[in-house]
Amino acid sequence: LGETRALRESRPGTLRAPGAQPADGESISSHVVTGTCADWVTAILPALFDATPLGGKSAKARKLELQACLKRWGPLITRFVQSRGDQVALLNALQAACMASEALGEASSLLLMKLYDADILAEEVILPWAEEAEPEFLELASEFLEWLQEAEEEEDDDDDE
C-alpha cells in the first residue's frame, strides 16, 4: 500500500504499527486508536486507491477497477462518513487524491458519481463544497458537477410548479 501504510506514532492516541509497544511512561490506553473522520478518510481513501491496480491499463480498464474498488469498499467508507462534515472530509481527500494521480484525476467524475449513487455523498454537501474546491479539480470533475447542478435546477423547477 505504499506510503499510506506508514502509520503515525507522534502522539498518544494516534495510529500505531501492528505490534507496537508503549514507550516508557506511556500507558497502554494510549494505544487505543482514535481520530476524527477526516483523519480516517484521509488515510483510508489513498490506501484504497493505492491498492487498486491502475498502472498500464486503458482508461476504460482503470474505470472498471475503480468501480470495483468502490463497490467493494463503499460499505467501509459509509461507516466513516456519517455527517455533513464527514462528507466534506471525504470530498477533500478525494480532491487531493485525484489531483495527485493522473489516473484518478481522469476518473474524478466517475468517482464522485459512484459515491453519490451509493448515498455516501449528498447533493446538499457537494454543490456548496464545489464553490470552494480547487479549480483544477473542478475541471477534472466537471462532467459530474454539471450533471448534478442541472439535476438540482430541474428539481427546483419541479418544486416551483
121 within 8 A of 91, measured Cβ to Cβ: yes
CB atoms within 10 A of CB 61: 12
Would the pLDDT of 20 be above 70?
Answer: no
Would the pLDDT of 161 be above 80?
Answer: no
**Using CA atoms, how far apart are residues 140 and 78, in angstroms rounded to an integer?**
24
Report the range of poorest mean pLDDT among 5-9, 83-87, 139-143.
5-9
Amino acid in the structure at residue 123: E
Q: What is the pLDDT of residues 105-135, one digit of tens each?
A: 999 999 999 999 999 999 999 999 999 999 9
pTM of the model: 0.74
Instruction: Please report the DSSP string for 61-96 in residue order.
Output: HHHHHHHHHHHHHHHHHHHH--SHHHHHHHHHHHHH
pLDDT band at 5 (very low <50, low <70, confident <90, very high): very low
The stretch 10-38 carries a mean pLDDT of: 51
Q: What is the pLDDT of residues 56-91, one digit of tens each?
A: 888 899 889 999 999 999 898 888 898 999 999 999
Residue ranges of alpha helices (H) inside 13-140 are: 37-50, 59-80, 84-100, 102-106, 108-117, 123-130, 135-140
